Amino acid sequence: MHKKTAFSFPDEVLEHVFSFIQSDKDRNSVSMVCKSWYEIERWCRRKVFVGNCYAVSPRMVIKRFPEIRSIELKGKPHFADFNLVPDGWGGYVFPWIVEMAGAVPWLEEIKLKRMVVTDESLELIAKSFKNFKALVLSSCEGFSTDGLAAIAASCKNLKELDLRDCDVDDLSGHLLSHFPDTYTSLVSLNISCLGSDEVSFSTLERLVCRCTNLRTLRLNRAVPLDKIANILRRAPQLVDFGTGTYAADLRPDSYSDLAGAFSSCKELRSLSGFWDVVPDYLPAIYPVCSKLTSLNLSYATIQSPELIKLVSHCPNLQRLLVLDYIEDSGLEVLASSCKNLQELRVFPSDPFGVEPNVSLTEQGLVAVSSGCPKLQSVLYFCRRMSNEALVTVAKNCPNFTRFRLCIIEPRTADYQTLEPLDVGFGAIVQYCKDLQRLSLSGLLTDRVFEYIGTYAKKLEMLSVAFAGDSDLGLHHVLSGCESLRKLEIRDCPFGDKALLANAAKLETMRSLWMSSCAVSFRACKLLGQKMPRLNVEVIDERGPPDSRPESCPVDKLYIYRTVAGSRFDMPPFVWTMEDDPSLQLS
């Protein structure tokens, strides 16, 4: 029974006010004001984001937020992308679907990242949620086109089916043919990862024809170039288009057909796909280039001159993904042509080659940093770097929010001075005060971590590999980075001391991954015993860690905070360190 004062509003008013508050952080803050706000807020929260599916149980989420319409879950640690997390580790979505199927029948949207999704899960989704609208699966695996077919067939109100970089079992089920003829609500379809799944072109064209609200269409490699013109003509309202194979036999009429089709798409702002590009067909997209804001050429194996021509046609580009074929010369052109560039990703064309195959160096990065004042987000693979270049980049781009540099050979020193790159990365964290994400590479000592701990106060995610000298490095990061949420480390000489000395810090973070480091089994046990709100998982395929001396380093360690206790779905090579109530820290 709460007092009604001049300052309290009826619940409905508060609920209406809260409906304008969308961000999770703000919603969480609102819910902590007082008990009645907590209650009101939880009944009207519509979207929930769970950054680690093991941090909380589905039952708890649904109990607190019974009226959600959208849920976003993340499963495996980020390093799973690079095959560092063994198969079977976990991240199963099925228990969540089961729980929601019963309790949240009006669920509309499910977004999953790095989770194991089965056909059974997909079929349950298709059956359980009558108003289901959006399925976004990012880097997921474990399902086949059969499961997707169930979604296509049953979800009459489906607007979005987005499969990004998923590992899908292609059973050649002709997925698109499972959309009923009466189905017209598609807005966004991304099947780019479906590999060789044959697409019936007539089915695709009919689908595109009747779904007049279609805005995003990303095709898979199996769709040949000569089919694209027909599709584009049927969907001139497209905003985001991903081609299939961008190769065909050169015929004069097919080229002009294609160019005409592209020019009919006045709303097109984003292009991707471009597998197996035949350069002579590239100019077909010139009519839309002037309005393009996003261009993903990261699978296009075309050389620098063609890339330069293309990029020069795109003055409004905000986002570019490209292979290192662009070379320093191409990046210089980019810097002078694309003044609105915010995000750049340069991928290696030959990451396992011994010698560089292209002339892409730190110079390209420096050029872009100098020419593109709005640059905020960089992912750059290269083979050499210098402190001087990094300092220049840092000074040019104080607005960086994401900076990920991968010098391909581990422990590569500054090529000019042969010194570690501590100073260069130090400049990055010092000048880029809003930096949220950082990935390090090259030769690095404990000093770089001292810089990071001192300056990177807004840093939320840090990726470290083959760096550092001692536990001091880890200690600097854990004790200094106030905003740190995710820390992932591989092949660094970090051991027990820093970890145990900063145990409490780990509860303020989402997760910590350490593999091929020097953390002993004894330390893991200790941490697990003393920190009941952490799950300390030892991942070791050599066999049970207690079959080796306690001082032996564990292979992989994954620590995350949780209110759900130990999980029950661990495979035989994962051990959770047990809580011991008598040993808890205050």
276 binds other proteins (CB under 8 A): yes
- The interface with other proteins within residues 32-61 (CB under 8 A) comprises none
15 binds other proteins (CB under 8 A): no
The least CB distance from residue 346 to other proteins, in Å, is 12
Please pick, from the candidates 18, 79, 380, 431, the single residue that binds other proteins as defined by CB under 8 A: 79
SS3 at position 510 = coil
- The interface with other proteins within residues 172-201 (CB under 8 A) comprises 193
248 binds other proteins (CB under 8 A): no
- Check: CB of residue 460 under 8 Å from CB of residue 436: yes
555 binds other proteins (CB under 8 A): yes
b/e 167-182 (16+ beta carbons within 10 angstroms → b): ebebeebebbbbbeee
Bridge-based pairing state of the strands 141-144 and 216-218: unpaired
CA distance 555 to 557: 7
139 binds other proteins (CB under 8 A): yes
DSSP states of 171-219? ----GGGGS-TT-----EEE-TT-TT----HHHHHHHHHH-TT--EEE-
Closest to other proteins by CB, 312 vs 470, is 470
Closest to other proteins by CB, 73 vs 477, is 477
Please pick, from the candidates 77, 173, 330, 348, the single residue that binds other proteins as defined by CB under 8 A: 348
Please pick, from the candidates 419, 454, 457, 532, the single residue that binds other proteins as defined by CB under 8 A: 419
CA distance 532 to 530: 6
505 binds other proteins (CB under 8 A): yes
- The interface with other proteins within residues 355-384 (CB under 8 A) comprises 355, 357, 381
Closest to other proteins by CB, 29 vs 202, is 29
Please pick, from the candidates 508, 546, 565, 584, the single residue that binds other proteins as defined by CB under 8 A: 508
501 binds other proteins (CB under 8 A): yes
Q: Which range, of 25-33, 62-70, 305-313, 417-425, touches other proteins by CB under 8 A?
A: 417-425
N residues, the chain: 586
Please pick, from the candidates 188, 515, 562, 576, the single residue that binds other proteins as defined by CB under 8 A: 515
85 binds other proteins (CB under 8 A): yes
**425 has which bridge partners?**
none
The least CB distance from residue 307 to other proteins, in Å, is 13
- Check: CB of residue 143 under 8 Å from CB of residue 150: no
434 binds other proteins (CB under 8 A): no
**Contacting residues for 361 by C-beta, under 8 A, at least 6 apart:** 328, 382, 383, 384
Q: Which range, of 41-49, 248-256, 367-375, 535-543, touches other proteins by CB under 8 A?
A: 535-543
- The interface with other proteins within residues 296-315 (CB under 8 A) comprises 298-299, 301, 303
How many of the chain's residues bind other proteins (CB under 8 A)?
A: 96
563 binds other proteins (CB under 8 A): no
CA distance 365 to 386: 11
516 binds other proteins (CB under 8 A): yes
